[in-house]
Structure 1
Amino acid sequence: MRDRFKPPSNLCYEIADFLSNQIIKGELKSDEKIREAELAKQLGVSRGPIREALQILERKRLVERKPRRGTRVVRMSSSSVDWLYDIIVELYGLVARGAAEHRTERDVAEMRRALSRIKGAATRGNLSDYYEALFHFALIGEKAAKNPLLEQMLADLEPLTRRMQFDSIKRHAEDLQKSATFFEQTLQHIENGNPEMACKTIQEYTQEERKIALKGKRLATTGTIGGRNNK
């Protein structure tokens, strides 16, 4: 008799989300070891869901599991950050361009509401709210671009992108209002149906973000991302 397929429990996804958030926000540091037994005791669960959650995080390139070293948070080097920005600068440009070409009135209205959240969080200096509003704005833009393949590519990169961008936002927390103007300008170009300027504006913002992220990593000389060695 064939074994029955056993899908992962919802609990393992909840644990994965919990750990993912800790990694993204730096509460679990690069190269920090994650001990299954201690984590199971802390969360009051068995080790099975913990193991499944770590497998999910490994696929998302947030942790790595190696023989005799156990499970550790992936360390992102300067090279890793640079490679990732090479990709997302282009992808975000395509999102802005596509949104300007294919936006609907509903898309624009939703992006305006998201922009209002960004500006409000920037005014209050609320880093966490700003970060969440920023990603909500991006998700609406991705849907407005009407490109399912582009949307999927960004979804696959989202855990790494969130981790990197949260670190970058922390490093320029005093400039949140200045950063918010990039999104306001991008939305204006999208609403006006100007794909070239929408693309240019969001890419300028992303390049500035890259500089901040790399400045924070300038002392890093080695590391891994998704199993690749950086030197």
Structure 2
Amino acid sequence: MSFVTPESLAEQIAGHLAERIIQGDLKSNERIQEGRVVQELEVSRGPVREALLLLESRHLVTILPRRGAIVTELTPHRVRSLYDMYVTLLTMLADLLARNWNDNNKQVLLDQAMRLQELASSQDKNAFILAGFELMRKAFTIANNDYLAQMLEDLQPAIHRTYAMSIRHSPDETELSRQFFSGLVTAVLSRDTDVLPKIFHSYGRHQCSLVLAAMQEEN
């Protein structure tokens, strides 16, 4: 028997606000007023405050003394720092994946990779982004490093925010992402660990440059 814990109200509120930040409805440094969220969602202040703390831990919100919660500012330095860390962690994940996969668990990766290929040419760019994160999560079990998995999960909302911004300004970039995932899966399945850092650093630099360009357009 297994028990599934329902998503808490705070998590639901955090998910709602995170989606607005990721899609650009809430901008950098914009104040998130507790009272307005309470009225809009018809909830009490307690879960809203808890949701804001969750979003702060996920790098989407900054809580300032006497000012309350604001959308975390995206600066060139923060974006570069974010991608430097994310690329390093993903390279570690892929390296473990290449070393640990076997005939019993590789099919789940192949199935998700095929899903990505199908979504790359669709109009639903957000579904493509989410499928990429799902591929990462399916790799967690095979990689078998809970600390690494937690760090990547903590950074995922911030990366989702920047990636969604780049897609809004460069919608055709999903094709390059498709090629990246295809090359990555090939390298992992051939256990070519030497090429993995090059694959990730090249894609990370390109993606970071797209985000920086998108930021200039939005400012």
Is the shorter-chain TM-score for this pair beyond 0.5, marking a shared fold?
A: yes
> Structure 2: any 5+ residue segments left out of the alignment?
1-6
Shift of 1:194: 1.2
Instruction: Give the Cα separation in 1 of the matches to 2:58 and 2:20.
Output: 14
Q: What TM-score results when the alignment is normalised by the length of structure 1?
A: 0.83
> Which residue of the partner structure matches residue 108 of structure 2?
110
> Which residue of the partner structure matches residue 168 of structure 2?
170
Deviations 1:23-63 (A, max 9, x none): 12212111111111111111111222112211222222221
Larger Rg: 1
Could you tell me the percent identity over the aligned residues? 29
> Which residue of the partner structure matches residue 6 of structure 1?
none
Deviations 1:54-112 (A, max 9, x none): 12222222212224433211111011001111111111111111111111234421121
Instruction: Give the Cα separation in 2 of the matches to 1:72 and 1:23.
Output: 11
Shift of 1:197: 2.0
> Structure 1: any 5+ residue segments left out of the alignment?
1-8, 222-231
Instruction: Give the Cα separation in 2 of the matches to 1:113 and 1:199.
Output: 24
User: Which structure's relative contact order is higher, taking Cα pairs within 8 Å and 6+ residues apart?
Assistant: 1
Instruction: Give the Cα separation in 1 of the matches to 2:157 and 2:94.
Output: 21
Instruction: Give the Cα separation in 2 of the matches to 1:44 and 1:106.
Output: 48
- The question of 1:204 aligning with 2:182 is answered no
Q: What TM-score results when the alignment is normalised by the length of structure 2?
A: 0.88
**Taking structure 1 as reference, are residues 125 and 105 closer, same or farther at Cα in structure 2, changes over 3 Å only?**
farther
Specify which of 158, 161, 174 is matched with residue 159 of structure 2: 161
| Number of positions where the alignment pairs a residue of Structure 1 with one of Structure 2 | 213
> Which residue of the partner structure matches residue 182 of structure 2?
184
Deviations 1:113-155 (A, max 9, x none): 1112211111113211111111111222333322222212212
What one-letter code is carried by the residue in structure 1 that aligns with 2:121? Answer: T
What one-letter code is carried by the residue in structure 2 that aligns with 1:182? Answer: F
**Taking structure 1 as reference, are residues 22 and 220 closer, same or farther at Cα in structure 2, changes over 3 Å only?**
closer
Match of 1:195, SS state, is coil
Would the aligned equivalents of 1:183 and 1:202 in 2 still touch at CA under 8 Å?
A: no
**Taking structure 1 as reference, are residues 205 and 105 closer, same or farther at Cα in structure 2, changes over 3 Å only?**
farther
Would the aligned equivalents of 1:187 and 1:198 in 2 still touch at CA under 8 Å?
A: no
What one-letter code is carried by the residue in structure 1 that aligns with 2:61? Answer: V
Instruction: Give the Cα separation in 1 of the matches to 2:195 and 2:142.
Output: 16
Specify which of 48, 51, 60 is matched with residue 49 of structure 2: 51
What one-letter code is carried by the residue in structure 1 that aligns with 2:131? Answer: A
